[in-house]
């Protein structure tokens, strides 16, 4: 069954897939991460979870990082419970649609399943053997570097688990740290308030420094008045998995 699921995941368009159990994810960071978002355990997302399937999609172009938000969105902090928000993040919409195909496959095999974006996906992906944490704090995969978008599928099927990824792919490289426009990065850590993605997602939050606000206004592409493309500088400069243009 494990191999059937992996083959199906690759067939629907994911570039890598790894599997672990909820027990192997007990020590990951759960709860609120700053003002960004709340990370849940597999059981909080789906109480009957027996296996966690982590899936990676190759995001080869910066346009995958486009966000389209409601004109009424205010973005206080990072979205308190009473803030109504309608938004669409292109990479997430793609991987959710692909993940549902795997969910449908599992249901047809007699297992319950559901997709999830609420886990600490980067840390879970390391436990599933997909890659390591990079100096830019993103998941770094051997074949595609940080150019992946992650989603998990939680299922009642008890599957074979993969070994955690143990290699540090970054080595002595620090291109992402040197390239960051707002100096938000230190090796393997990020100052969230200095990240332009945090700035653009929280336009009325008071904890973003003025120089970061100014950099965000100048450097973050805005195709329309209600859309923007997240900063991907630390992704673009990473040499791991970087594919040379042929034309």
How confident is the model over 88-123, as pLDDT tens digits?
A: 999 999 999 999 999 999 999 999 999 998 999 999
pTM over 0.85: yes
CA distance between the termini of the chain: 41
Instruction: Give pLDDT, residue 17.
Output: 98
| 113 neighbors 32 (Cβ within 8 angstroms) | no
Beta bridge partners of 89: 67
Instruction: Give pLDDT, residue 242.
Output: 84
From start to end of 109-197, where are the E strands? 113-116, 132-133, 139-140, 148-155, 185-186, 189-190
Host domain of residue 17 = 2-169+224-230
Tally the residues of the chain: 247
Q: Does the residue 184 lie in any domain?
A: no
CA distance 206 to 26: 34
Q: Does the residue 61 lie in any domain?
A: yes
The CA-based angle 110-112-118, given to 5 degrees, is: 155
Q: What is the count of structural domains for the chain?
A: 1
Which residue from 139, 127, 136, 138 is spatially nearest to 166, judged by alpha carbons? 127
Q: Does the residue 198 lie in any domain?
A: no
Q: Does the residue 63 lie in any domain?
A: yes
- Which pair of structure tokens corresponds to residue 48? 């009957």
Residue ranges in the chain whose pLDDT is less than 70: 34-36, 75-85, 244-247
Q: Does the residue 197 lie in any domain?
A: no
Q: Does the residue 201 lie in any domain?
A: no
Which residue from 95, 91, 81, 92 is spatially nearest to 32, judged by alpha carbons? 81
| 19 neighbors 152 (Cβ within 8 angstroms) | no
Instruction: Give pLDDT, residue 29.
Output: 86
Q: Does the residue 18 lie in any domain?
A: yes
Q: Does the residue 206 lie in any domain?
A: no
């Amino acid at each position: 069954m494990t191999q059937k699921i992996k083959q199906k995941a690759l067939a629907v368009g994911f570039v890598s897939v790894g599997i672990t159990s909820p027990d192997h994810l007990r020590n990951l960071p759960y709860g609120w991460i700053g003002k960004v978002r709340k990370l849940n355990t597999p059981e909080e997302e789906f109480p009957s979870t027996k296996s966690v399937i982590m899936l990676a999609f190759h995001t080869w172009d910066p346009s995958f990082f486009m966000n389209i938000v409601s004109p009424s969105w205010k973005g206080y902090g990072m979205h308190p419970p009473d803030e109504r928000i309608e938004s669409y993040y292109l990479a997430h919409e793609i991987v959710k649609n692909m993940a549902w195909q795997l969910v449908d496959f599992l249901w047809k095999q007699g297992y319950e399943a559901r997709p999830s974006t609420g886990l600490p996906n980067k840390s879970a992906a390391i436990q599933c053997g997909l890659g390591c944490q990079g100096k830019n704090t993103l998941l770094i995969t051997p074949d595609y570097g940080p150019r992946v978008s992650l989603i998990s599928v939680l299922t009642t099927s008890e599957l074979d688990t993969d070994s955690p990824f143990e290699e540090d792919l970054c080595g002595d490289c620090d291109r992402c740290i040197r390239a960051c426009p707002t100096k938000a990065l230190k090796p393997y850590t990020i100052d969230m308030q200095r990240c332009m993605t945090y700035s653009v997602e929280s336009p009325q939050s008071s904890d973003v420094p003025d120089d970061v606000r100014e950099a965000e206004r100048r450097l973050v592409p805005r195709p329309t008045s209600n859309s923007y493309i997240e900063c991907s500088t630390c992704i673009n400069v990473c040499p791991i998995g970087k594919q040379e243009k042929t034309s």
